[in-house]
């Protein structure tokens, strides 16, 4: 995905350190270890990650732009410092933002162990334990460029949510960071959500050994944009299946999901019916991701067998696997070299509904249905533009119909000069800053 229309300068200098391991009482391989660590003073953090530097005027939503300009990380820093002053009794508490890159253990689509990475950021006081009552869990959005993964992107825009006196956790998607030797996941919502859950649990275990404390009554803000919104909703469903004691350890859940694919089966069928896809990269990413998340179904087929010779000759799969190109560019290459319709991109078998390969892929897609048989019991806020041509608006409508009265839907109008998929972004940021 593009840089999501954000222009945020960030310069984080990582301090070299040896890998620290959290003790495992069972003597097993540690669940989490430190890859890297750095520390920023409040002034450095505000200078490098201040939402006043965001270029949002192109969104043509003046009231939102002006509101965002009035909310700066410097203002949040002042509030955090005041809170720490009350806790410590120090007139000028010495504190800053601690950033860790963590390695943690999870599972892959075959249920085998896999190591993934994530970013952890929190306000840290030097001479006392600071109490924090909020966790922000950021689910990764569509990405095909290695340097844009949370653990490698020094301009990771959503780190600003850490400035709300919160613990900020952002797992890398499989295929990046510690798992860069694996194909990336896409619309594999159930597996992605489980890996995110494992990342949250690992981060909270790691925090027990740091100079902060999470309050007993803490909130868990689970959020995502685009693909990350679908994963966030799948995470929400996993959370609701946990026992009460586990939920209390994780925090009281509220989910914020924007412009996400929630009805995967219907979305893929919609893609097949379109004369031209606005975002043709989504289909090859889906095949790569589903082969990773459902190997029992799809291992018999190569990725290339799902696509036309014109598509394969264009080298798109190699571009995706190289992690050297931003996703918007790869999508444009498909449009110019191959064409953006389902029939241009896919193989003959994929254009034959009776073929075994087509039916097997559809079975894999049906397995990613997170709405079926579920009524939400914890609050969910959905934000979606009626003019979204990447992830159709019916995804939000279907989620509301399925999940019931715990879901609030904020519908944004179509803005003709801006792709509808991006319209939700400033509203998501504003909502996060006011939770």
Q: Alpha-carbon distance 311 to 339, whole Å? A: 9
Q: Alpha-carbon distance 109 to 377, whole Å? A: 28
The enclosing H or E element of 6 equals: none
CB atoms within 10 A of CB 113: 9
> Which pLDDT does position 55 carry in this prediction?
40
Is beta strand 32-40 parallel, antiparallel or unpaired with respect to 95-107?
antiparallel
Between the alpha carbon of residue 333 and those of residues 166, 246, 251, 309, 324, the distances in Å are 40, 46, 43, 15, 14
Helices marked H in 299-410 — which ranges?
A: 309-313, 316-322, 327-337, 342-345, 356-366, 394-403
Q: Alpha-carbon distance 137 to 224, whole Å? A: 8
H and E: helices and strands count for the chain: 16, 9
Which residue carries 């005041």 as its tokens?
82
- Whether the Cβ atoms of residue 104 and residue 202 lie closer than 8 Å to each other: yes
Any idea how long the chain is? 435
- Given a cut of 70, the residues of the chain with pLDDT beneath it are 1-30, 48-72, 154-163, 416-418
Degrees to nearest 5, angle at CA 338 with 334 and 342: 85
| Residue 188 φ/ψ, nearest 5 degrees | -100, 65
Q: Alpha-carbon distance 29 to 47, whole Å? A: 39
Q: Alpha-carbon distance 419 to 435, whole Å? A: 26
Q: Alpha-carbon distance 270 to 300, whole Å? A: 26
Which residue carries 């162990």 as its tokens?
113
> Which pLDDT does position 261 carry in this prediction?
96
Q: Alpha-carbon distance 391 to 257, whole Å? A: 13
The DSSP bridge partners found for residue 383 are: 258, 410
pTM of the entire predicted model: 0.88
The DSSP bridge partners found for residue 118 are: 102, 171
Q: What is the pLDDT of residues 92-124, one digit of tens each?
A: 999 999 999 999 999 999 999 999 999 999 999
Between the alpha carbon of residue 109 and those of residues 207, 293, 298, 359, the distances in Å are 28, 4, 11, 20
- Whether the Cβ atoms of residue 364 and residue 358 lie closer than 8 Å to each other: no
Which residue carries 């510690």 as its tokens?
178
């Amino acid at each position: 995905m593009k840089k999501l229309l954000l222009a945020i300068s960030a310069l984080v200098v990582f301090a070299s350190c040896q890998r620290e391991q959290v003790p495992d009482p069972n003597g097993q391989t540690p669940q989490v270890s430190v890859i890297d660590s750095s520390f920023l003073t409040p002034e450095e953090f505000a200078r490098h990650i201040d939402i006043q530097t965001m270029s949002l005027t192109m969104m043509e939503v003046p009231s939102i732009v002006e509101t965002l300009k009035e909310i700066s990380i410097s203002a949040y820093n002042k509030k955090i410092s005041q809170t720490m002053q009350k806790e410590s009794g120090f007139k000028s508490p010495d504190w800053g933002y601690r950033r860790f890159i963590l390695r943690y253990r999870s599972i892959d689509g075959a249920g085998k162990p896999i190591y993934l990475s994530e970013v952890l950021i929190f306000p840290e006081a030097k001479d006392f334990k600071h109490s924090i009552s909020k966790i922000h869990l950021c689910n990764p959005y569509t990405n095909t460029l290695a340097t844009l993964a949370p653990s490698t992107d020094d301009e990771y825009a959503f780190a600003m949510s850490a400035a709300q006196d919160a613990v900020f956790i952002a797992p890398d998607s499989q295929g990046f960071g510690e798992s860069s030797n694996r194909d990336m996941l896409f619309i594999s919502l159930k597996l992605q959500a489980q890996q995110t859950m494992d990342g949250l649990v690992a981060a909270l275990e790691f925090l027990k050994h740091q100079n902060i404390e999470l309050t007993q009554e803490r909130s868990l803000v689970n959020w995502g944009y685009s693909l990350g919104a679908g994963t966030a909703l799948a995470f929400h469903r996993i959370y609701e299946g946990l026992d009460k004691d586990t939920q209390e350890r994780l925090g009281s859940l509220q989910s914020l999901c924007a412009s996400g694919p929630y009805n995967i089966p219907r979305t893929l069928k919609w893609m097949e019916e379109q004369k031209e896809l606005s975002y043709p990269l989504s289909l090859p990413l889906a095949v790569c991701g589903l082969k990773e998340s459902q190997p029992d179904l799809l291992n018999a087929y190569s990725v290339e067998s799902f696509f036309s010779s014109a598509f394969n000759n264009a080298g798109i799969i190699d571009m995706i696997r190289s992690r050297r190109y931003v996703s918007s560019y790869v999508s444009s290459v498909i449009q110019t070299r191959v064409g953006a319709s389902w029939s241009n991109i896919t193989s003959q078998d994929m254009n034959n509904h009776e073929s075994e390969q087509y039916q097997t892929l559809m079975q894999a897609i049906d397995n990613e249905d997170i709405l079926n048989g579920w009524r939400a019991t914890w609050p969910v806020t959905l934000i979606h533009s009626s003019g979204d041509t990447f992830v159709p608006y019916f995804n939000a409508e279907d989620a509301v119909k399925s999940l019931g009265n715990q879901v609030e839907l904020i519908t944004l109008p179509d803005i003709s000069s801006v792709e509808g998929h991006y319209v939700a972004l400033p509203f998501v940021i504003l909502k996060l800053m006011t939770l």
